Structure 1
Amino acid sequence: MASVAQFLRSKVSQTVWTTEASASVYDAIAIMAYRKVGALIVAHQGRLAGIVTERDYARKIVLMERSSRDTPVRDIMSAEVRYVGPHQTTDECMAVMTEHRIRYLPVITARQVIGMVSIGDLIKNQIAEQELTIRQLEHYIHGDGFHAGRNGVQTQSAQL
């Protein structure tokens, strides 16, 4: 089971996209679409103020027939931000997300956002870990002498 720090290092993009609380919802959604992400960290005067997601947009703009161009992000963002630290495990992230029914978790250390973990990221990671376990078990059952060493690299055991 990987730590969040290990997991973040393995992500293709480690950029955390942000928007200002005063920005229009339209501008925030445009950033999400352009960057192909489902959530942005919301900053106010350089500090973490909240998180805004596509779900916030759907529920608080579209369904309430509000104008995304006239509504500031601060009006729809989630100000109570659930987050994890880099030392926590990916399983702990899944537990937080499941318990609070959220899809995105900022990773925070020393009051600074260093990454973002999505439920999709975690599921992809979990599938990869399960595939590795299956391969290890298959090799063990077949007795071919291969096993996964550190970081999933396969090595061959000497059989005397």
Structure 2
Amino acid sequence: MCKVSALLATRGPRIYFIDANATVLDALSALECENQSYLVVVHQGKFVGVFSERDYSRKVILQGKSAISTLVKEVMSTDLPIVSSDDKAEHCMMLMNAYKTRYLPVFDEFEFKTVITINDLVKEAFDDEELAHVVKGVIGNGWGEDAYMGRSRIY
């Protein structure tokens, strides 16, 4: 079973930051410019959360807020579980499933390193039969076609 450190070694460094006091509009512009789905939120150089497209849709659009006046720190995700580079990919997948998140901050010795994403794990699953089994289990428990079909009916 692959460790987070191995996943990160194959992916390479790619961390896109935004200040917690930036507006959501600034964050959306950064997401578009970098073709990303999330940004690492920092305050005074320290990790404080993650801002994602999901945060925008659920905490700005659906709440009737304005992207121009809402600050990233008001809508970012701060309650994400964290992992270390020694954790296994299977553990990350289980955490993502349990917390219904697509992003896990990676810390080593209390120092922020990066974020591991669901995409990182899915790519790894293609090469790792044991992880592929876990991914299939997660998809079958809420992230699969049934869950998608249930949501599509409300639109």
Normalised TM-score (structure 1): 0.76
| Matching residue of 1:84 | 83
Could you say what secondary structure the match of 1:22 adopts? coil
Matched, 1:99 2:98: yes
Gaps of 5+ in 1: 134-160
Is 1:2 paired with 2:2?
yes
Structure 1 Cα separation of the partners of residues 35 and 13 of structure 2? 13
Kept in 1: contact 2:20–2:42 (CA 8 A) = yes
In 1, Cα distance between equivalents of 2:13 and 2:128: 20
Contact 1:16 1:114 in 2 (8 A): no
Question: Using CA pairs below 8 Å that are at least 6 residues apart, which structure has the higher relative contact order?
Answer: 2
Question: Where does 1:38-57 land on structure 2 (aligned, <5 Å)?
Answer: 38-57=37-56
2:26 maps to what in 1? 27
How many pairs are equivalent? 130
Deviation at 1:65, TM superposition (A): 2.0
CA deviation map 1:30-80 (0-9, x unaligned):
111221221111111111211111100001111122110111001101222
Runs of 4+ in 1 over 6 A off after TM superposition: none
> Which residue number in structure 2 is paired with residue 154 of structure 1?
none
Question: Post-superposition shift, 1:16?
Answer: 1.3
Structure 2-normalised TM-score?
0.78
Measured in 2, the distance between the counterparts of 1:24 and 1:84 equals: 28
More helix by share: 2
Would you say the 8 A contact 1:83–1:108 is kept in 2? Answer: yes
Contact 2:7–2:120 at 8 Å: present in 1 too?
A: no
Question: Which amino acid in the other structure matches residue 9 of structure 2?
Answer: R
**Distance across 2 between alignment mates of 1:113 and 1:60:** 25
1:109: Cα distance to partner?
1.2
Give the 3-state SS of the residue equivalent to 1:19 in structure 2: strand
Contact 2:104/2:117, CA 8 A, preserved across alignment:
yes
Deviation digits for residues 68-95 of structure 1 (CA, Å, limit 9, x no counterpart): 0111001101222321100000101001
Write the distance in 2 (CA, Å) between the matches of 1:57 and 1:119: 18
How far apart in 2 are the matches of 1:98 and 1:49?
Answer: 22
2:118 corresponds to: 119
- Is contact 2:103–2:117 with CA below 8 Å preserved after alignment? yes
Q: Secondary structure at the match of 2:18?
A: strand
Question: What residue ranges of structure 2 are gaps of 5+ in the alignment?
Answer: 133-155
Could you tell me whether the CA contact under 8 Å between 2:49 and 2:76 is conserved in 1? yes
| Residue identity opposite 1:8 in structure 2 | L
Secondary structure, in 3 states, of the residue corresponding to 2:122? helix
